Amino acid sequence: MPLKTNDPTKKTWLQVPANSDFPIQNIPFGVFLTRDDIITIGTRIGDYAIDLGALHQLGYFKGIPLTDDIFLQDTLNDFISDGKKTWRLVRNRISEIFDITNKSLQNNDDHKNIVLFTLDEIEMQLPVQIGDYTDFYSSKEHATNVGKMFRDPENALLPNWLHIPVGYHGRSSSIVPSGTAIRRPMGQTLPDGADLPVFGPSKLVDFELEMAFITTDANVLGEPIPVEDAENYIFGMVLFNDWSARDIQKWEYAPLGPFLAKNFASSISPWIVTLDALEPFRVPSPEQNPTPLPYLRHTGKRGFDISLEVSITPENGSKTVITRSNFKYMYWSMAQQLAHHTVNGCKVNSGDMMGSGTVSGPSPENYGSMLELTWRGENPLKLKDGSTRKFIEDNDTVTMIGYCEKANVRIGFGEVSTKLLPVFQPKQK
Amino acid sequence: MPLKTNDPTKKTWLQVPANSDFPIQNIPFGVFLTRDDIITIGTRIGDYAIDLGALHQLGYFKGIPLTDDIFLQDTLNDFISDGKKTWRLVRNRISEIFDITNKSLQNNDDHKNIVLFTLDEIEMQLPVQIGDYTDFYSSKEHATNVGKMFRDPENALLPNWLHIPVGYHGRSSSIVPSGTAIRRPMGQTLPDGADLPVFGPSKLVDFELEMAFITTDANVLGEPIPVEDAENYIFGMVLFNDWSARDIQKWEYAPLGPFLAKNFASSISPWIVTLDALEPFRVPSPEQNPTPLPYLRHTGKRGFDISLEVSITPENGSKTVITRSNFKYMYWSMAQQLAHHTVNGCKVNSGDMMGSGTVSGPSPENYGSMLELTWRGENPLKLKDGSTRKFIEDNDTVTMIGYCEKANVRIGFGEVSTKLLPVFQPKQK
């Protein structure tokens, strides 16, 4: 049965600009600091941020089993722990309150003054306290490109890749929301032809175009989540820039995987778009051949048609779109990733985040990293201001956007936009 | 200047059994559930657990800047955030209160009834909420043994190993305290000679004898911690069993490192022994040749002489000690690990945990895993009950202990003891 929050004919009494990522069918969740210096949980419709803590205090969620302070928190973890049934009840109610036919809040200026904020009055925060963060490697095109460049062009995919949604653990503490500038990392690298490593700024800082999903409490330690149940434990998705220092990675990664090449920073979009809002945009995933082992087999459409786009904006320059990709290219589904992650009994908590891996498509113009777009720097990209890029330069801003579109409804993620600052300079003593 | 809490002549009015790990010179920190079903932060002297929350409420920490509820919490994270100066003030005060010459608590039976618990009245919990967990690979002997077995015996160490304290990210959510039984994991493996993977219980479950350190908030994102400052951000250490499924690891680990082979469970001892308590047991680390890059160079004694021992106890069987090692064998110091981890600006928070990597010594009887002790199963170990082990079998209990000894003072870690249960069996529907 289709969810009523997804009804494409539904309209809201709030003004929603044409092509907004946030029509009344979206109703994402985020955390923001208000003009009164209060942190609250909220949603967004058009260019309004809506304070759910205040709405709850004013009685608009009456009848839904919620603790009094569930939205007066600085993370969504507890709300996410309440589970899918509660998420739906809350989104249904928000959808009703802002429906064009509903006058309760619409005609109450005092209440509107309390709950509605314009975007310049708020500052978006990290939406969850991320307990553990895992990054997958689930685009066949990306894995093939990397294999061609660094291993054997004839056997680009490693033997395990078609059997396992390959993944590894990342660092939660370095994940920041869109708008937080990051620094070029220092590190050890081995110059071409050298015998000994050197220390200095990474010369090959790259983005990785990814999406990530946020989980709820899914299991107890020792018990797996069956693949057909897995989506019930996925709260929603964000855009994800998995910053990477290619030269540091090359020297450090054998035999235990990437470490300092990744954990200097990772950036996410601040509004979590629920899996429910994405429901109308399901598509079949790419065919899997060989058929995966039984614990990874599922039925139905497990892909999502989400258009993705990355641009670079140099300091004082204009934006150049450098790639367009789509989440539907992912070979392994989110359900398969979560089932695989827990098949050994690994515990998954509310607020955990799992990245897709770089979302590269079939053509060079769909590649999800500078590494692939410039083929290791061999073919630099030309930007609108005439400058060229092999990798990301100091003071460049990398911006990713993502959205679904169908039946005149656009469900978008906003953006994750991050400026790369030069290396940290310690103060002189 | 030596710390007065380390004075080897100091005696307490509490009874301390001979050879106890917990004389008055230790004063570790932990979290426990009391007979009244209250979770509190505590310390341990001899076989008494001491409720620091109650001691604080009774006024025994007067004059030390602590919030009222600092010990009435279910993790040590906030206390650890208070920093090294506060840790020392609190340990000094505990040392005074329990000094044999101090009568304040000694002569107050009402207060003693409130703050003292025997060990059978409490249940130890995880001492910290671990935000991020990193595992290093810092024993040269272990890395060499693994290299000999799986790569080239003539070039066992990879080229980066002598330049980098190699590490990778692990999973915080699966870390459990001593006494929590774990399950044999299910997973994908590639049988010898096969082309296609199979799914089933891991056949090669192993322990890894490690120690781990717990950090306080150390930096802001983007700023490194200099190696000479790094120890100021280490609160203390625990024993650590980094459970590993060797067959799962072999199939999954290329190219991004171990994942499901590790994150089914990791076990720690519940009392955090402070770096201050370990101060008298410093020893020089092994000589480093080649000299590391400047950001990893430090002076002074950075190793710690900590004797380690692992035993296996089969169900209904007796304990067999299977290896004896020492933390002093570690090639890379904790200070070097933390400096390396943050040299790219990676943020380190209070309660983060960093494992040493398997602590193997120079002789086969010092090896820190079954993989090395039995050389991939080629030379099974004989247990006291006559049975043999290539790896760990269902219902075996693996117990690790660790202690320092000098001038008749023994500072120990207690134990991390974990039973391996058979694979999880889903309920029949």
- Rounded-to-integer distance, Cα B258 and Cα B167, Å: 11
Query: A118: which 2 tokens?
Result: 């314009």
How many cross-chain Cβ pairs, A to B, lie less than 8 Å apart?
202
- Residue A269 neighbours by CB distance under 10 Å: 29
Instruction: Tell me the shortest Cα–Cα distance from A425 to chain B, in angstroms.
Output: 9
- Rounded-to-integer distance, Cα B371 and Cα B145, Å: 9
Last residue of a domain, one of B95, B124, B153: B124
Closest of B102, B101, B41, B110 to residue B77, by C-alpha: B41
Per DSSP (E only), the strands in A19-156 are 30-33, 39-45, 48-51, 116-118, 123-124, 133-136
Q: What DSSP letter does each residue of B144-199 carry, written as one string?
A: HHHHHHHS-GGG-S-TTTTTS--EEE--GGGEEETT--EEPPEEEE--TT-SS-EE
The answer on B277 and B212 residing in a single domain is yes
Reduced to 3 states (helix: H, G, I; strand: E, B; else coil), residue A257 is coil
Query: Quick check: B186 contacting A, CB < 8 Å?
Result: yes
Q: Which helix (H) or strand (E) holds A374?
A: none
Number of domains in chain A: 2
Residues of A in contact with B353 (CB under 8 A): none
pLDDT in tens, A105-133: 999 999 999 999 999 999 999 999 999 99
Instruction: Tell me the shortest Cα–Cα distance from B251 to chain A, in angstroms.
Output: 7
Backbone φ and ψ of A381, nearest 5° = -85, 145
pTM of the model: 0.97
Of B264, B293, B347, the CB nearest to A188: B293
Last residue of a domain, one of B124, B145, B173: B124
Best A137, A259, A352 member to test B by mutation, with max B CBs in 10 Å, is: A259
Burial of A429 (0-12, 13-18, 19+ CB in 10 A): exposed
Closest of B211, B208, B309 to residue B249, by C-alpha: B208
Average pLDDT over residues B59-86: 98
The answer on A209 and A308 residing in a single domain is yes
Q: B residues 333-352 near A, CB within 8 Å?
A: 340-341, 343-349, 352
Overall size of chain B counted in residues: 429
Q: What DSSP letter does each residue of A180-241 carry, written as one string?
A: --EEPPEEEE--TT-SS-EEEE-S-EE-BEEEEEEE-----TT----TTTGGGGEEEEEEEE
Q: Determine, yes or no, domain membership for A8.
A: no
Instruction: Tell me the shortest Cα–Cα distance from B166 to chain A, in angstroms.
Output: 7
The answer on B218 and B185 residing in a single domain is yes
Of B256, B341, B343, the CB nearest to A186: B343
- In A, minimum Cα distance to B244 occurs at A344
What's A113's DSSP letter? H
- Rounded-to-integer distance, Cα B171 and Cα B266, Å: 9
Question: Which residues are CB-contacts of A189 (< 8 A; sequence separation ≥ 6)?
Answer: A197, A198, A200, A202, A203, A247, A248, A250, A251
Check B176 against A221: CB less than 8 A apart. yes
pLDDT in tens, B229-270: 999 999 999 999 999 999 999 999 999 999 999 999 999 999
Q: Determine, yes or no, domain membership for B100.
A: yes
Average pLDDT over residues B26-50: 96
- Rounded-to-integer distance, Cα A236 and Cα A242, Å: 18
Q: Is the dihedral of CA B128, B129, B131, B135 positive or negative?
A: positive
- In A, minimum Cα distance to B265 occurs at A346
Q: A residues 403-422 near B, CB within 8 Å?
A: 421
- Residue A313 neighbours by CB distance under 10 Å: 19
Check A257 against B197: CB less than 8 A apart. no
Of B173, B183, B197, the CB nearest to A348: B173
Instruction: Tell me the shortest Cα–Cα distance from B84 to chain A, in angstroms.
Output: 21
Backbone φ and ψ of A114, nearest 5° = -80, -40
Average pLDDT over residues B99-112: 98
The answer on B392 and B296 residing in a single domain is yes
The answer on A141 and A50 residing in a single domain is no
Are the C-beta atoms of B243 and B182 separated by less than 8 Å? yes
Catalytic residue annotation of A: 142
- In B, minimum Cα distance to A186 occurs at B344
Residue B365 has pLDDT above 80, yes or no: yes
Residues of B in contact with A347 (CB under 8 A): 173-174
Question: By percentage, how much of chain B surpasses pLDDT 90?
Answer: 97
Best B130, B155, B162, B169 member to test A by mutation, with max A CBs in 10 Å, is: B169
Query: Quick check: A385 contacting B, CB < 8 Å?
Result: no
Query: Quick check: B256 contacting A, CB < 8 Å?
Result: yes
The answer on B339 and B192 residing in a single domain is yes
- Rounded-to-integer distance, Cα A308 and Cα B7, Å: 64
Closest of B161, B405, B401 to residue B283, by C-alpha: B405
Q: Determine, yes or no, domain membership for A394.
A: yes
Residue B172 has pLDDT above 90, yes or no: yes
Strand partners of residue B266: B175
Query: Quick check: A224 contacting B, CB < 8 Å?
Result: yes
Q: Determine, yes or no, domain membership for B10.
A: no
CA distances from A219 to A293, A332, A347, A387, B425 (A): 21, 21, 6, 51, 14
Residue A151 has pLDDT above 90, yes or no: no
Check B254 against A158: CB less than 8 A apart. yes
- Rounded-to-integer distance, Cα B242 and Cα B248, Å: 15
Mean pLDDT of chain A: 97
Question: Which residues are CB-contacts of B53 (< 8 A; sequence separation ≥ 6)?
Answer: B38, B40, B41, B42, B69, B71, B72
Q: Determine, yes or no, domain membership for B94.
A: yes
Q: Which of B142, B298, B340, B341 is catalytic?
A: B142
Q: Determine, yes or no, domain membership for A21.
A: no
Which spans in A221-310 are helix H? 246-252, 275-278
Indicate the Cα dihedral angle B177, B182, B188, B191, nearest 10°: 110
Closest of B378, B377, B416, B414 to residue B393, by C-alpha: B377
Overall size of chain A counted in residues: 429
The answer on B223 and B97 residing in a single domain is no
The answer on B316 and B417 residing in a single domain is yes
Backbone φ and ψ of B106, nearest 5° = -50, -40
Q: How confident is the model at residue A429 (pLDDT cuts 50, 70, 90)?
A: low
The answer on B263 and B175 residing in a single domain is yes
- In A, minimum Cα distance to B168 occurs at A259
Residues of B in contact with A343 (CB under 8 A): 186-187, 260
Say if strands A198-201 and A186-189 run parallel, antiparallel, or are unpaired: antiparallel
Reduced to 3 states (helix: H, G, I; strand: E, B; else coil), residue A274 is strand
Last residue of a domain, one of A98, A124, A150: A124
Q: What is the CATH number of the domain that holds A81?
A: 2.30.30.230
Closest of A284, A127, A297 to residue A212, by C-alpha: A127
- Rounded-to-integer distance, Cα B296 and Cα B290, Å: 12
Residue B212 has pLDDT above 80, yes or no: yes
Query: Quick check: B188 contacting A, CB < 8 Å?
Result: yes
Residue A9 has pLDDT above 80, yes or no: yes
- In B, minimum Cα distance to A295 occurs at B199
The answer on B79 and B208 residing in a single domain is no
Question: Which residues are CB-contacts of B146 (< 8 A; sequence separation ≥ 6)?
Answer: B156, B371, B372
Query: Quick check: B320 contacting A, CB < 8 Å?
Result: no
ipTM value, please give it: 0.97
pLDDT in tens, B293-323: 999 999 999 999 999 999 999 999 999 999 9
Best A152, A169, A175, A190 member to test B by mutation, with max B CBs in 10 Å, is: A169
Cα B396 to chain center, whole Å? 20
Are the C-beta atoms of B247 and B204 separated by less than 8 Å? yes
Q: A residues 196-215 near B, CB within 8 Å?
A: 196-199, 202
The answer on A196 and A110 residing in a single domain is no
- In B, minimum Cα distance to A292 occurs at B197
- In A, minimum Cα distance to B161 occurs at A252
What's B208's DSSP letter? B
Instruction: Establish whether B340 is a catalytic residue.
Output: no
Q: Determine, yes or no, domain membership for A20.
A: no
Are the C-beta atoms of A32 and A122 separated by less than 8 Å? yes
Average pLDDT over residues A363-372: 97
Residue numbers of the domain that contains A120:
30-124
Closest of B116, B123, B125, B120 to residue B49, by C-alpha: B116
The answer on A166 and A198 residing in a single domain is yes
Check B168 against A170: CB less than 8 A apart. no
Query: Quick check: B292 contacting A, CB < 8 Å?
Result: no
Closest of A103, A73, A94, A81 to residue A27, by C-alpha: A94
Residue B428 has pLDDT above 80, yes or no: no
Residues of A in contact with B418 (CB under 8 A): none
- Rounded-to-integer distance, Cα B429 and Cα B426, Å: 9
Query: Quick check: A245 contacting B, CB < 8 Å?
Result: yes
Query: Quick check: B424 contacting A, CB < 8 Å?
Result: yes
pLDDT in tens, A220-239: 999 999 999 999 999 999 99
Residue A428 has pLDDT above 80, yes or no: no
Residues of A in contact with B160 (CB under 8 A): 188, 190, 197, 251-252, 254
Check A132 against B347: CB less than 8 A apart. no
pLDDT in tens, A268-308: 999 999 999 999 999 999 999 999 999 999 999 999 999 99
Closest of B177, B182, B359 to residue B271, by C-alpha: B177
Residues of A in contact with B252 (CB under 8 A): 160, 164, 166
Q: B residues 30-89 near A, CB within 8 Å?
A: none
pLDDT of B429 reads: 59
Q: What is the CATH number of the domain that holds B221?
A: 3.90.850.10
Backbone φ and ψ of B111, nearest 5° = -65, -40
- Rounded-to-integer distance, Cα B111 and Cα B327, Å: 39
Which spans in B98-139 are helix H? 109-115
Of B170, B182, B293, the CB nearest to A169: B170
Q: How confident is the model at residue A36 (pLDDT cuts 50, 70, 90)?
A: confident
Q: Determine, yes or no, domain membership for A18.
A: no
| Amino acid in position B115 | V
